[in-house]
C-alpha cells in the first residue's frame, strides 16, 4: 500500500521491471499504447497523473473496463451500474422492436426479453452487487 502518487510510481516501476523481464524471456512485448492504469484508493488524492511505464508515459484514468466490469478509482462501481443499466435498456428496446406490434408481445416473448436483460444486468454482479446496498445507487 502506498500513501502518495510518487510511492505508487516507484512500486509501478519495480513491478514493471519484473513483468518486462518475464515478457522478454517469453518473447513478448508490452503495448504501452494500449496500457491503462487506474489508481485505486480510498484517500482523497489526485488519481489522474502521468506514470512512467518503461520508457513511455501513461496517464492514469478514472476508470477502466476489465473482463466486462468497469473498475473506478474508488471501487464504488457507479460507472458500472450506469453502463449496465443503459445496456439492459437498449437490449430491451431493440428486442421489443423486433416483436410484432399487433396485440403486443405474449408472455413467452416478454420472458425472453426479460431474460436477455437480466443476463446483461447480472454480468459480473458477484463483484459489484454489494454496491447496490448504498441508497444513492
- pLDDT one-digit tens code per residue, 61-117: 889 999 999 998 888 888 999 999 999 999 988 888 777 665 666 788 888 888 999
Look at residue 133 and tell me whether its pLDDT is greater than 90.
Answer: no
DSSP 24: H
Same domain, 113 and 79: yes
Burial, 101: exposed, middle or buried (Cβ in 10 Å; 0-12, 13-18, 19+)? exposed
Is residue 128 in a domain?
yes
Tell me, yes or no, whether 92 lies in a domain: yes
Triad 63, 4, 39: Cα angle to 5°? 10
Both 31 and 55 in a single domain?
yes
Say whether both 80 and 129 belong to one domain: yes
Average pLDDT, rounded, for the chain: 84
Structurally, how many domains does the chain consist of?
Answer: 2
| pLDDT of the residue at 113 | 86
Percent of the chain at pLDDT exceeding 90: 20
> What's the pLDDT score for residue 70?
92
- In this structure, are 81 and 43 located in the same domain? no
The range of the structural domain enclosing residue 32 comes to: 5-61
- 68 located within any domain: no
The pTM assigned to this predicted structure is 0.70
Amino acid at each position: 500500500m502506498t500513501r502518495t502518487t510518487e510511492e505508487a510510481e516507484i512500486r509501478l516501476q519495480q513491478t514493471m521491471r519484473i513483468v518486462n523481464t518475464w515478457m522478454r524471456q517469453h518473447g513478448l512485448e508490452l503495448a504501452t499504447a494500449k496500457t491503462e492504469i487506474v489508481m485505486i484508493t480510498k484517500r482523497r488524492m489526485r488519481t489522474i497523473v502521468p506514470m512512467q511505464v518503461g520508457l513511455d508515459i501513461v496517464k492514469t484514468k478514472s476508470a477502466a473496463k476489465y473482463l466486462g466490469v468497469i473498475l473506478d478509482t474508488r471501487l464504488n462501481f457507479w460507472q458500472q451500474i450506469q453502463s449496465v443499466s443503459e445496456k439492459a435498456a437498449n437490449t430491451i428496446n431493440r428486442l421489443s422492436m423486433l416483436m410484432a406490434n399487433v396485440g403486443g408481445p405474449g408472455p413467452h416473448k416478454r420472458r425472453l426479453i426479460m431474460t436477455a436483460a437480466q443476463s446483461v444486468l447480472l454480468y459480473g454482479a458477484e463483484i459489484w452487487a454489494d454496491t447496490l446496498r448504498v441508497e444513492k445507487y
